[in-house]
Chains A and B, each alone.
Chain A
Amino acid sequence: DSGVTQTPKHLITATGQRVTLRCSPRSGDLSVYWYQQSLDQGLQFLIQYYNGEERAKGNILERFSAQQFPDLHSELNLSSLELGDSALYFCASRSGGAGDTQYFGPGTRLTVL
């Protein structure tokens, strides 16, 4: 158990809909990262937050957004969903100190029908 929690585990929705994925980092970790894993693209970095502020953006679509709240949990919002958004979405947390290890949550499997 990495200490990172993600909800829900599975999400099935229809095209055009909007969903919110939630992540709680390990206790004390200030950084949260979101990654998408799909069969064709592999594991791709989406976005990072550090102590409530956006720090870095990767291959994140404009239809996707995220935020990190004062209690450090983070939410990834996916809107106008398309079939190709079906994937595993992981969040990872990192302490923000000198150690570079990211600890991953169990993921949310999103299926868009």
Chain B
Amino acid sequence: SQQGEEDPQALSIQEGENATMNCSYKTSINNLQWYRQNSGRGLVHLILIRSNEREKHSGRLRVTLDTSKKSSSLLITASRAADTASYFCATGDGGSNYKLTFGKGTLLTVNP
């Protein structure tokens, strides 16, 4: 079953604009990670935020985490056509196996 639910399911923007994607989850987590997937290809790890962190930055990426609302957001600033991909949030429960539970993803299209 899906843990996270990304919102929106699809997002289309122009190059240079910012893109914001949201993720909600249901159970307690140890960490939350964001991955990118180009069409039909492997998942690329973008950023990990731990449950005791509220915000994290990596280049043009900014991730926030609100554990009280069980939600996270991923902001991509100054988007580029190469950012076109599906973005997934994944939660880790921190158990000894560290398995990830993925949301259904947001399809981001950046138009040149």
> CA–CA, A109 to B33, complex, Å?
24
User: Is A43 in contact with B102, judged by CB distance below 8 angstroms?
Assistant: yes
> CA–CA, A31 to B2, complex, Å?
22
The answer to whether residues A102 and B100 also contact, given A90-B43, A107-B41, A109-B40 and a CB cut-off of 8 A, is yes
Query: Considering only CB atoms, which chain A residue lies closest to B33 in the complex?
Result: A101
Collect the chain B residues with CB atoms within 8 Å of residue A100's CB: 30-31, 33, 48, 92, 94, 98
Q: Which of B40, B44, B92, B97 contacts A104 (CB 8 A)?
A: B44
What is the minimal beta-carbon distance from B90 to any residue of chain A, in angstroms? Answer: 8
Chain B residues with a Cβ under 8 A of chain A: 2, 30-31, 33, 35, 40-45, 48, 88, 90, 92, 94-105
Within 14-62 of A, Cβ neighbours of B (below 8 Å) are at 31, 33, 35, 42-45, 48, 50, 55-56, 58
Query: Considering only CB atoms, which chain B residue lies closest to A42 in the complex?
Result: B104
Please tell me if A94 contacts chain B, counting CB pairs below 8 Å: yes
Query: Considering only CB atoms, which chain A residue lies closest to B45 in the complex?
Result: A101
8 nearest A-B pairs in the assembled complex, by CB-CB distance: A56-B97, A43-B102, A106-B42, A104-B43, A45-B99, A55-B97, A104-B42, A42-B104
Collect the chain A residues with CB atoms within 8 Å of residue B102's CB: 35, 42-44
Chain A residues with a Cβ under 8 A of chain B: 2, 31, 33, 35, 42-45, 48, 50, 55-56, 58, 88, 90, 92, 94, 100-107, 109
User: Is B101 in contact with A45, judged by CB distance below 8 angstroms?
Assistant: yes
Collect the chain A residues with CB atoms within 8 Å of residue B43's CB: 90, 92, 104
> CA–CA, A99 to B40, complex, Å?
27
What is the minimal beta-carbon distance from B103 to any residue of chain A, in angstroms? Answer: 8
> CA–CA, A31 to B97, complex, Å?
9
> CA–CA, A27 to B2, complex, Å?
30
Collect the chain B residues with CB atoms within 8 Å of residue A107's CB: 41-42
12 residue pairs bridging A and B, Cβ less than 8 Å apart = A42-B2, A44-B102, A45-B100, A48-B97, A50-B97, A90-B43, A94-B98, A100-B33, A100-B94, A102-B45, A104-B42, A106-B41
